A and B are shown apart, each in its own frame.
Chain A
Amino acid sequence: MINLVPHLLAFQQSSSEQTPEGSLFFPPKASNFAAESDWLYNFIFWVSTIAFALTIIATVYFVLRYRKSVAPEPQPSPTHSTKLEVIWSVIPSIFLVIMFWKGFELFVDYRKVPAGAYQIQASGVKWKWTFRYPTGAESDVLHVPMGEPVEILITSKDVLHSVFIPAFRVKQDAVPGRYTKLWFEATMPGTFPLYCTEYCGKDHSAMNTTTVVHETRGEFEEWLKGALNPYEGMTPVQSGELAYTRRGCNACHSNDGSANTAPSFQGLMGATREFEDGTSLVADENYILESITNPKAKVVKGFQPVMLPNGGQDLSDEERDFLVAYINSLQAN
């Protein structure tokens, strides 16, 4: 019944590295927290299972032993017993205190970011994550070096989101207007899912990406260098296509003409656009630029004005040029 061979969801970027399998109850243990968190999970599991088994065994035994056909009349028995009641209050309480204390200790580890941790900023916007590294590089997939404490400073541009990396056993909400943080030390190279776990509207379940753990610092640095200018050596249209996914335009705008949360980019240039206020115009480069920087200026009929300026991203002038070039290239069939 339980599928023991997990397949990895087809994420936007695939990795050649094999992702290790998890166990029956858990994803792979890929961070410093995993072993301790799973140990505590198992501790509670066994205490609860034994307690549950005892109560159910007692229930079933009593029901069978004292069912009416066997015991037509109730037999005298005490209606209360202070001794018994104290025992079954105190013994569970002892386990509860242990659980609280172990949970508290682990929580302190979760919250105490080691000095000198490598800081990456994460920013959520419907429905995309952007990660910014100290070198100025940005990515939509989280890249981290193995064996080094990494701190993720999290915020949101719009509604509540939450960063959740199951393999690392870490989670923290992204709250607009404030920073939250989490930290971890990856202990295993590979590619692991990263989910949004705070409901954020239509494409909440598509707001996922991956975490790539680089085995050595050198490998990570190599990646960082490439990420600093991802558009190097590309034509403007190619760059625009990359910006389209990298900046999350694809979360709402399709490039194949299909309707989504927002109008499709295909066949946009040169088409006549009808707006909510009754006006219309023929889409040109200036209209597209305006729609990127100030999306609420002209709202296409039948759509909600939900997009933030620049899609909530820090688009450079160059990237806007790339996007205009890319949209221009998406002619109608």
Chain B
Amino acid sequence: MTNTTPDVHYLNCDKGFKSWFWTLDHKRLGLMYMWSVIAAFILGGIFALLVRMELMQPNMGIEENAALYGWSKELGPANLYNHFFTLHGAIMVFLVIIPGIPAALGNFALPMMLGAKDVAYPKLNRFSYHLWLSGAIFFVLALVTKGLDTGWTFYAPYSLETDTAVVFATTGAFILGFSSIFTGLNMLVTIHKLRPDGMTWFKMPLFLWAIYATAIIQILATPVIGIALLMLTIERVLGVGIFDPTLGGDPVLFEHIFWFYSHPAVYVMVLPAMGVVSELLANFSRKPIFGYRSIAFSSVAIAIFSFIVWGHHMFVSGQSDLVNVVFSALTFSVAVPSAIKVFNWIATLYKGSISLDTPMWYALSVIWLFGIGGLTGLWLGTLGTDIHLHDTYFVVAHFHFVMVGSAIFAFIGGVFYWWPKMYGVMYNETVAKTGTAIAFIGFNLTFLPQFVAGSKGMPRRYFDYAEEFASYNFWSSIGAMTLGVGLVIALYALLKSLMGERKAAPANPWGAVTLDWQCTSPPPPHNFDHAPPVDGPYDHELVRWNEDLQGYEPVDPVDGDPNLARMGSAKLA
């Protein structure tokens, strides 16, 4: 059987630290991104747990906290708490969710999905990763020097006067912005230039459409956050009067520039997640995705609309009433393509043959979590209800459902999906599913009570709160710990698969017909010896289950390469 793990593959073709650090191989870069993102996620997760620990009970004043945690009274728990939630947010947004799917999974899978040997600009790709590392170093510098207490939003004028390490953090975010821009550029050019013969735009897997739409946002919107943070840094260091009202500046201007990037950035997080979910649902249902074109176009529509809705973050900021009304109306326009995606996903399940493997558990979780995250956005887009809910825990719960419930769950689902391809091993399904289930329950327990705390009036970013919010916060903290346990189990399932007796993965364990599954697991250094033939990305009848392989094999293999399915009428290039 030639279908098993090859002797030489991208993991063992070259050894040593340098062979990884200076690699140009998109798969190695994708893997390094993935582990870096996971490391940052653990750090951000620790800060999240510290936040929830503080909030577990009300009236934890200075004395009680100092006694409980051994914190110095001079620093004060409020100060520490402010550092915790700021670092949690900044790390999760800039270091985890934005690069999560596009840079880690995108790098690993996208060139293979195109049947290509690498991305269009491998050196730029390596530079993106090194920029990510540099940005991360600045975040760590901020963390170990004076910390950061501005909130991840860096709102002026507070960010201008706090004595914490704002400049380190803005510099880090600035550099990470360029990492994101270069990744987007690379993906965009790769999709344009390296699509194989026969792969027309509408024969691309939907993951590619999602990464393409994401890349548009990364390239067009990210420079604006760079400018915003640069202006903030200049204002802080030189005091030229851009945002500081005592110098004639306008703090609301910062909010505008900040959200002009940071709202589209939400879709940098969510669009690739939707791409992953589309792949998973189609492949684990063994059905072509329902309404392919609507899903593809809705990605592009969301990318375009995302640029013109930023003002909904500012309904009570003091911006003009007319502007508020216009932004409210535009905001509702994003709801339609989002709803279309969900309905199409569900229709994909209809009359399929559904395998409930671990990645599918994540995909189905995302339907639930994105459903809640998306629908609760309606209260916040509606002007009349947003006034009450703005900056309360309702908002906190809403964006966690979107950014964690959708983006992070899809990311983890994607990791479980491509893990056999990455390492050539299968993980223990029972352990992995146990982790998924606990994480799902923990997530809902954490954030559902926060909606109620918010509509009852609990403001966000509070380190202490009124007695009436006590029960919601207590259960939310229990949920956060449950979520943490679930994620640790999920990580354990992955790491365990690499240790001891390994269970070798077949080339195609899930029965997908996208090209990334048409090379060995793990892939050879150059992915394909010759460009694979191309047909529809969801023609599942081209592969069939083989009990000996414990995986899928082509029904009609191309001569000389049993991993390559002969696809319809397509000819070898």
Residues of A whose CB lies within 8 Å of any CB of B are 1-3, 6-9, 22, 24-27, 36-37, 40-41, 44, 47-48, 51-52, 55-56, 58-59, 62-63, 66-68, 71-81, 84-85, 88-89, 92-93, 96-97, 99-100, 102-107, 110-111, 158-160, 162, 164, 166-167, 169-173, 175-178, 180, 193, 195-206, 258-261, 304, 306
Contact = CB atoms under 8 A, between A and B. Distances in A.
B33 interface: no
A63 B371 contact: no
A102 B382 contact: yes
B352 interface: yes
Interface residues of B, number: 96
Given A40-B384, A77-B351, A85 B346 contact: no
A173 B463 contact: no
A258 B462 CA distance: 22
A26 B456 contact: yes
Contacts, number: 288
A173 B318 contact: yes
Contacts of B449: 1-2
Contacts of B379: 41, 44
Interface of B, helix, strand, loop or mixed by DSSP: helix
B316 to A, nearest CB: 5
Contacts of B383: 103-104, 106-107, 110
Contacts of A56: 367-368, 371
B354 A110 contact: no
Contacts of B328: 100, 103-104, 107
* The 6 nearest A-B residue pairs measured at CB: A166-B457, A106-B384, A177-B245, A6-B468, A103-B382, A9-B466
Given A55-B367, A205-B465, A160 B158 contact: yes
A172 B316 contact: yes
Given A88-B339, A159-B158, A202 B76 contact: yes
A99 B364 contact: no
Nearest to B347: A84
A159 B349 CA distance: 52
Given A79-B289, A107-B324, A193-B466, 19 more contacts: A6-B456, A7-B467, A41-B455, A55-B346, A56-B367, A73-B286, A74-B351, A79-B292, A92-B339, A99-B382, A159-B251, A160-B155, A164-B457, A172-B318, A176-B157, A202-B79, A205-B459, A205-B461, A306-B161
Interface in B360-378: 364, 367-368, 371-372, 375-376, 378
Contacts of A92: 335-336, 339
Nearest to B321: A111
Interface string B114-158: 000000000000000000000000000000000001010001011
Contacts of A25: 452, 455-456
B72 to A, nearest CB: 10
11 contacts: A8-B468, A9-B465, A27-B457, A62-B349, A66-B351, A103-B385, A107-B383, A162-B316, A166-B388, A196-B459, A199-B460
